[in-house]
Amino acid sequence: MTTTVPATGADRLDLAALVAAREPGRPLASPFYTSPAVFDADVAGVLAHTWLFVATEAELREPGDFLTVEVGSWSVIVVRDDDEVVRAFHNVCRHRGARILDERAGSVGNIVCGYHRWTYASDGSLLHAGDQPAGFDKSCFGLRSVHLRVVAGLVFVCLAPEPPTDFDEVAAVVAPYLLPHQLHRTKVAAQVDLVEEANWKLVMENNRECYHCEGGHPELICTFFPTYGYAEDAIPARLRPAHERYLRAEAELERACEERGMPYRAVEDLQDRVSAFRVQREALDGAGESYTLDGRSASRRLLGDLDSPRLGRLSLHTQPNAWFHFLADHAVTFSVLPISADRTLVRTTWLVHEDAEEGVDYDVEHLTHVWRETNEQDSAFCARAQQGVSSPAYLPGPYAASEYQVDAFTSWYLDRTKEHLAR
């Protein structure tokens, strides 16, 4: 099938030909990262047809709490209604289509369009529409709902009329890993929005490998073993000492998890399902407790009913747009929200126990230091990559073996694009 989509100017782009031309084991061609037309196809055909991580329940603690999320030209309201059910709606008034809520987050009694004051309840039903004729049926003009799922405190939405059906299987696998952290009993300690000058796929690809960590993330590798992604028999000699520490720490972690009945083994399905994911609890270096420079806890209050700070990192990755780290003392979530072909919003949220007191149990600067620095470093790497793939001289080179998850992500992306072209 040949499908052309408008590119910049008068050019037209053969997306199917681009997909077919991809050489396995190498990055995507330049237009996948630079073309506004491909970006539009990504939003319509990939992002709108998959489950997107958009928030945590901790951001919607009380009835009326809401947040808005932008994905390309889509805007979604996520709100906790008066019955404490978390719902999602298109941020489009049913009158003349005006954007209803502009704020990033807040709290409302009712949802009121600022244009002609059409007023909706937090469950989306239309309460008031002034000056309508007799016989106007308000029940026909509630807000259009968006599919929403909450998995152990993580909020996902899907913009498609028929969302992927494999998400229940993923939730059943992932939830037991998350439940000990009791995210429903957390609060937001900090949230940082970082706009990266790069295509969303470069941002995701950068996160799927640690090939760059050894030289690029001095704060992170104080606790994150730089051998991530390497096969046992392919670890470079210079990283052997770190690997030996990893093996000792991992053996201790496995014993701790088995004593507590906590799942820790890797489950990885990054390419062969629509709702692709990876989950695993792994040991941390240093004191082995948290993402701090010495590896010790950043919050005195542990999450949930956890009884030890030394439980490593539970890391979760969900395609197309998120990754997570759950420690004993706090959690960090990352959502990737594409803005344009060459700009991406990365929203990072730090969660602590709901009863933890700032200045007593944790210090925000200390809590967030490692990932704020790491995010800035990743942002610079992604911007460099964007500059490179935009050059006429760019030719995709081979992935290293430790970058197999990047290869899986790009292959998954191409499969979703093929599905889009076939619809």
- Three-state SS across 1-26? CCCEEECCCCCEEEHHHHHHHCCCCC
Q: What is the pLDDT of residues 130-180, one digit of tens each?
A: 999 999 999 999 999 999 999 999 999 999 999 999 999 999 999 999 999
pLDDT reading at 8 higher than 60: no
pLDDT of residue 12: 54
pLDDT reading at 52 higher than 90: yes
Q: Could you tell me if 30 and 389 are in contact, meaning their C-beta atoms sit under 8 angstroms apart?
A: yes
pLDDT reading at 3 higher than 70: no
pLDDT of residue 75: 98
Q: Which CATH superfamily is domain 166-390+402-418 in?
A: Naphthalene 1,2-dioxygenase Alpha Subunit; Chain A, domain 1 (3.90.380.10)
Distance from chain centroid for Cα 109: 29
Structure tokens at 245: 């520490």
pLDDT of residue 158: 98
Pseudo-torsion of CA 127, 130, 133, 139, nearest 10°? -10
Distance from chain centroid for Cα 141: 32
Give the pLDDT mean for 212-230.
Answer: 93
Average pLDDT, the chain: 95
- Given the structure tokens 């014993």, which residue do they identify? 255
pLDDT reading at 1 higher than 50: no
Q: Could you tell me if 174 and 315 are in contact, meaning their C-beta atoms sit under 8 angstroms apart?
A: no
The per-residue b/e assignment along 191-203, b for 16 or more CB within 10 angstroms, e otherwise, is: beebebbbbbbbb
DSSP 44: I
pLDDT of residue 393: 98
Nearest to 337 by CA among 199, 228, 243: 199
Structure tokens at 360: 């007593």
How many Å is the maximal CA-CA distance in the chain?
A: 80
pLDDT reading at 278 higher than 90: yes
Q: What is the pLDDT of residues 179-204, one digit of tens each?
A: 999 999 999 999 999 999 999 999 99
pLDDT reading at 9 higher than 60: no
Strand ranges for 197-297 from DSSP E = 267-269, 277-282
Strand duo 52-56 + 86-90: pairing: unpaired
Cα–Cα dist 256/406, whole Å: 31
pLDDT reading at 7 higher than 80: no
Confidence of residue 67 (pLDDT cuts 50, 70, 90): very high
Enumerate the domain spans of the chain: 52-148, 166-390+402-418
pLDDT reading at 269 higher than 60: yes
Cα–Cα dist 212/209, whole Å: 7
Cα–Cα dist 152/282, whole Å: 20
pLDDT of residue 187: 98
Q: What is the pLDDT of residues 339-382, one digit of tens each?
A: 999 999 999 999 999 999 999 999 999 999 999 999 999 999 99
Q: Could you tell me if 291 and 332 are in contact, meaning their C-beta atoms sit under 8 angstroms apart?
A: yes
Q: Is 142 exposed, middle or buried (0-12, 13-18, 19+ CB in 10 A)?
A: middle
User: Looking at domain 52-148, which of 2.102.10.10, 1.20.1250.20, 2.40.40.20, 2.60.40.10 is its CATH number?
Assistant: 2.102.10.10
Structure tokens at 260: 């507590």
Cα–Cα dist 156/53, whole Å: 4
Distance from chain centroid for Cα 262: 24
Report field, pTM of the whole predicted structure over 0.85: yes
pLDDT reading at 10 higher than 50: no
In this structure, how many other beta carbons lie within 10 angstroms of the beta carbon of residue 329?
25
Structure tokens at 102: 């502009």
Confidence of residue 13 (pLDDT cuts 50, 70, 90): confident
Give the pLDDT mean for 219-238.
Answer: 93
Cα–Cα dist 59/48, whole Å: 23
